[in-house]
Amino acid sequence: MLRNDPVPIRQRDSSIPEKLAKVIDLALTEKPQIQFQTAAQLKEALVKTR
């Protein structure tokens, strides 16, 4: 569990591709409507960033 809101990944490293950054940011977001219910869903989103 994060104690602070996560910093958007591209603020840390602007060389990360935008599509990949979006998936990473969603994975780190703590919300009731969590984007990825399973590791398989996360994997599918990551594969789509290629």
Residue-wise pLDDT for 1-50, tens only, equals 557 778 899 999 999 999 999 999 988 877 756 778 889 998 998 999 88
Q: What is the pLDDT of residue 1?
A: 58
Relative orientation angle of helices 18-28 and 39-47, to the nearest 10 degrees: 170
Q: How far apart are the first and last CA of the chain?
A: 29
Residue with tokens 């569990």: 1
Q: Which helix (H) or strand (E) holds 18?
A: helix 18-28
- Record the tokens describing residue 44, joined without a space: 């599918």
